Amino acid sequence: MANNSLPHRIALALLDLAREEGRVADYQDALSKISADFEEEPRFKEILGSYQIPFDELYALVERVYGNTDLVHLVPFLKYLITKRAIGRFEEICEDFYRESDKELGIYEGVVYSVSALGKKEKETLESAFAKLLGKKVRLRNRVEPSMLGGVRVFIDGKVYDGSLSSKIERMRETLLKTAKTGGYDL
């Protein structure tokens, strides 16, 4: 079934505009920077979604912060999100935009599971390693999985790369059992 959610439709509309401008990768970078801004200053995102501040003041704020870009559709896109009260769904919109634009740009999208959130440098190191392994650019999203003992588990293009501590322990257990059964030593 096709995804017909509001965030997905907005993401596809922005992708069409980015294609028209011939700057899909630049829009990915811009959205990533805005996401980082929201993460660094969550209050900024709250302000942009405020029902208490008039639209014209919110538009002026967006112009001041992001108006110096040469991406024609970026500021109007942000103003649209403000008007539609969709700024709170910015991350969903970005995820859909990245997913669709990654296909177009030939970028593998994957998920890395870890016990705690990975730092930017750690994530970039993993992306670089998998890019070398797969011969294509890789973008990883980090999902925290507290039930893991340690290490990481990466899913890319339908494949699992398991470097988790629990899988290493399981492999060690299987090796020990196999060795014990073949007479290597008694347990």
* pLDDT < 70 stretches in the chain: 1-2, 163-173, 183-187
Whether 156 and 94 share a structural domain: no
Q: What is the pLDDT of residue 1?
A: 43
Tokens matching residue 133:
């392994």
Residues 153 and 124 in one domain: yes
From 102, 128, 159, the end of a domain falls on 102
Same domain as 111, residue 97: no
Say yes or no: 152 and 94 in one domain.
Answer: no
**Strands across the sheet containing 159-162:** 138-144, 108-114, 152-156, 159-162
- State pTM to two decimals: 0.67
**98 with 155, same domain?**
no
pLDDT digits (tens, 9 = 90+) for 21-49: 999 999 999 999 999 999 899 999 999 99
The enclosing domain of 142 has a CATH number of 3.40.30
Residue with tokens 């208490």: 52
User: Are 124 and 40 within one domain?
Assistant: no
Question: 87, 102, 117 — which closes off a domain?
Answer: 102
**Can you give the chain as a three-state secondary structure string?**
CCCCCHHHHHHHHHHHHHHHHCCHHHHHHHHHHHHHHHHHCHHHHHHHCCCCCCHHHHHHHHHHHHCCCCCCCHHHHHHHHHHCCCHHHHHHHHHHHHHHHHHHHCCEEEEEEECCCCCHHHHHHHHHHHHHHHCCCEEEEEEECCCCCCCEEEEECCEEEECCHHHHHHHHHHHHHHHHHCCCCCC
Residue 68 lies in a domain: yes
User: Do 83 and 112 have their domain in common?
Assistant: no
